[in-house]
């Protein structure tokens, strides 16, 4: 069994694949990211998640990690090594991805963005834009030749919602959702409209500019926790794939294991 783990700034996504990645996805989970979580806590959490679905943690034979939270890497690797007897692969410099990185400094590209790009190109085999709705909203462009060209980073919708709540004394915290209409009839509906429709417009505007600048046919796929919600109102997102990052980790693991 392959354990694929993507550590984001807000959430950590864990997936269990059959036969060390050669089989299908058995299950996946999303937990809060904490830089203070210890190796023992990771061990207990993984075992508890497996227990929810009657999976046997003793069958974990390999693992791969991508992380944008450096402090979380050491305890996670320690947990896998000491409690499960596994030395995980870590997505970073030196690992095979099969994708040329055309950033001015390739080391600046977040591991999750590379993993998404690898998965998207493997799936569509052509020009692609991946929109990832995480703590930040990222847009990554892959060429028809399978090259990572670069992208865009914008504040995530949750960051904007939190900023509005903390810096506007009379405005309440609201759930991020799709409002029934653009023109809100009360404060909550107005804020929801601004957040939702504002981000849909941001996504569509940036994607259209990227497509125009790239100059080649592009498929647009969204991933991340809010992917399906935002995709419902977007005119440019063609597909929402919440498991794109996990699948990219599975592919990269296969490239690096002989």
**Same domain as 234, residue 121:** yes
Would you say residue 62 lies in a domain?
yes
Output the domain CATH number for residue 60. Answer: 3.30.420.40
Can you give the pTM of this predicted structure? Answer: 0.92
**Same domain as 80, residue 146:** no
Annotated active-site positions, please? Answer: 112
DSSP 83-123: HH----EE-STT---S--B-SSSGGGS-HHHHHHHHHHHHH
Q: Are 209 and 218 in contact (CB under 8 A)?
A: no
Domain boundary among 90, 122, 144: 90
DSSP 170: T
Rounded mean pLDDT of 161-184?
Answer: 90
**Same domain as 239, residue 133:** yes
**Same domain as 120, residue 11:** no
The closest of 1, 4, 7 to 135, measured between CA atoms, is: 7
Provide the domain limits for residue 9. 2-90
Domain boundary among 90, 116, 148: 90
165: confidence class by pLDDT, cuts 50, 70, 90: confident
**Same domain as 113, residue 178:** yes
Domain boundary among 45, 64, 90: 90
Q: What span, in angstroms and rounded, lies between the C-alpha atoms of 116 and 121?
A: 9
Q: How many independent structural domains does the chain possess?
A: 2
Per-residue pLDDT tens over the stretch 27-74 = 999 999 999 999 999 999 999 999 998 999 999 999 999 999 999 999
Would you say residue 96 lies in a domain?
no
Per-residue pLDDT tens over the stretch 192-228 = 999 999 999 999 999 999 999 999 999 999 999 899 9
């Amino acid at each position: 069994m392959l354990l694929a783990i993507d550590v984001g700034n807000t959430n950590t996504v864990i997936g269990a694949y059959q036969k060390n990645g050669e089989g299908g996805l058995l299950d996946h989970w999303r937990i809060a990211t904490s830089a203070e979580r210890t190796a023992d806590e990771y061990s207990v959490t993984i075992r508890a998640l497996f227990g929810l679905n009657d999976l046997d943690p003793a069958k974990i034979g390999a693992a791969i990690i991508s992380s944008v939270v450096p402090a979380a890497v050491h305890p996670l690797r320690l947990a896998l090594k000491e409690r499960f007897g596994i030395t995980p692969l870590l997505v970073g410099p030196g690992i095979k991805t099969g994708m040329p990185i055309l950033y001015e400094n390739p080391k600046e590209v977040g591991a999750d963005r590379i993993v998404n790009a690898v998965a998207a190109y493997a799936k569509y085999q052509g020009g692609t834009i991946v929109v990832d709705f995480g703590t930040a909203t990222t847009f990554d462009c892959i060429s028809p030749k399978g090259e990572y060209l670069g992208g865009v980073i914008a504040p995530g919708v949750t960051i904007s919602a939190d900023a509005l709540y903390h810096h506007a004394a009379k405005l309440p915290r609201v759930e991020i959702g799709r409002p029934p209409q653009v023109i809100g009839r009360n404060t909550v509906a107005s804020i929801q409209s601004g957040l939702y429709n504002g981000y849909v417009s941001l996504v569509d505007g940036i994607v259209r500019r990227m497509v125009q600048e790239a100059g080649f046919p592009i498929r647009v796929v969204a991933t991340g926790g809010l992917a399906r919600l935002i995709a419902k109102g977007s005119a440019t997102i063609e597909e929402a794939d919440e498991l794109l990052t996990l699948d990219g980790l599975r592919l990269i693991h296969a490239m690096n294991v002989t």
